[in-house]
């Protein structure tokens, strides 16, 4: 299989093309090297169902469990989840099933996250142990602080725990072997710099919203310079009209220019958007519970964008954020700038 990459777009990121492979799918998933050691696959199944304009999507039945099974059978080597999603147990059941069929634990990369109500240093290890119990695993490959914002257990009152203390708890968890790598999610550049300046272990990864409308080039450049892998949640942004807010900027999936690129490569517009983010240097986290879409979302390595196509997709960056979480904007560690 040909896996073309324009390496000048990566500015130092290393692809390990001896990546994990599922013979059944005959698919090689490239990886990026983590500063803490090991490699992270550049495509993960996202397991958070997200929001629609009318509110949060509610998990029903065993959709996530079946989605993870579909993903593993399609050749995914990375599953991204979180305690707060409330579905770690479903991910765990799917993993247990596939392990019983011969899948090796070391061939799968698992990411999960620490929720805001467990930010005290002494809470971090027990919180991870609970996630491991849910997942039926002895360790995860990557553990992230979900937000820099601390909250009390009822999730309604904001707490003032210093996220450096939370980070020390993450280091404790790594030393215990409960996670191979540690990182952060939804932190801004100033907050990351504060961790670096503290002299504590540097985060291996940062998970942020990243899509055509929100490309965050300055934060991306900062992470690249500090050897921090960027992971892209909500990679489709507002492409789908059913999920776009009324004020969301274009494009949508019926944009003629994007449709033309997709048709050229016999791909879908969402596949083109994912390919663009990978060529930026990100790990993408597309989410779906539909078998066909899950399979499509990893078929990204048999084409590459021309410089003209790449620049067109780059031009859609407006800084529009689909998940600003303004309800937390009064917290001193709120990470985003409000318009």
Residue with tokens 């914002």: 149
Is 265 noted as a catalytic residue in this protein? no
| Contact of 207 with 216, CB cutoff 8 Å | no
Q: Which of 12, 13, 4, 88 is nearest to 283 (CA)?
A: 13
Helix axes 121-135, 88-100, angle to 10 degrees: 50
**Distance of alpha carbon 146 from alpha carbon 135, whole angstroms:** 17
Question: Does residue 78 have a known ligand-binding role?
Answer: no
H-helix or E-strand containing 150? none
How many C-beta neighbours within 10 Å does residue 116 have? 23
Catalytic one among 76, 83, 85, 334? 85
201: tokens are: 């272990």
For residue 198, give every residue at least 6 positions away whose Cβ sits within 8 Å of its Cβ, in sequence order, or none: 164, 167
Residue with tokens 């708890």: 169
Strands 45-46 and 283-284: unpaired
CA distances from residue 59 to 14, 47, 115, 272 in whole angstroms, order as listed: 36, 10, 18, 28
DSSP states of 225-269: HTT-EEEEESTTTT-SGGG--TTPPSP-TT-HHHHHHHHHTT--H
Known binding positions: 146
Bind-site residues for substrate: 146
Active site residues: 85
């Amino acid at each position: 299989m040909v896996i073309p990459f324009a390496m000048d777009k990566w500015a130092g990121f290393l692809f390990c093309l001896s990546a994990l492979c599922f013979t059944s799918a005959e698919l090689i998933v490239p990886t990026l090297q983590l500063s803490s050691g090991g490699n992270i696959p550049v495509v993960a199944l996202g397991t958070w169902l997200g929001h629609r304009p009318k509110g949060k999507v509610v998990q029903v039945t065993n959709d996530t469990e079946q989605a993870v099974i579909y993903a593993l059978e399609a050749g995914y080597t990375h599953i991204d989840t979180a305690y707060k999603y409330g579905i770690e147990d479903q991910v765990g059941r799917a993993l247990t099933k596939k392990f019983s069929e011969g899948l090796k634990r070391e061939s799968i990369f698992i990411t999960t996250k620490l929720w805001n109500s467990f930010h005290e240093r002494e809470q971090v290890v027990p919180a991870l142990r609970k996630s491991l119990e849910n997942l039926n695993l002895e360790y995860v490959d990557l553990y992230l602080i979900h937000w820099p914002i601390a909250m009390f257990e009822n999730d309604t009152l904001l707490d003032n725990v210093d996220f450096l203390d939370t980070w020390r708890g993450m280091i404790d968890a790594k030393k215990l072997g409960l996670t191979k790598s540690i990182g952060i999610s939804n932190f801004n550049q100033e907050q990351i710099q504060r961790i670096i300046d503290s002299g504590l272990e540097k985060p291996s990864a940062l998970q942020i919203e990243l899509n055509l409308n929100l490309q965050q080039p300055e934060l991306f450049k900062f992470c690249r310079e500090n050897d921090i892998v960027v992971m892209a949640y909500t990679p489709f942004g507002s492409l789908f009209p059913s999920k776009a807010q009324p004020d969301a900027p274009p494009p949508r999936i019926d944009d003629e220019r994007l449709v033309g690129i997709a048709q050229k490569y016999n791909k879908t517009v969402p596949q083109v958007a994912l390919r663009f983010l990978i060529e930026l240097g990100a790990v993408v986290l597309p989410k779906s519970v539909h078998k066909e879409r899950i399979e499509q979302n990893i078929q990204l390595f048999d084409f590459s964008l021309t410089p003209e196509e790449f620049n067109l997709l780059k031009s859609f960056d407006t800084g529009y954020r689909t998940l600003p979480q303004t309800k937390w904007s009064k917290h001193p560690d709120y990470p985003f700038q409000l318009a």
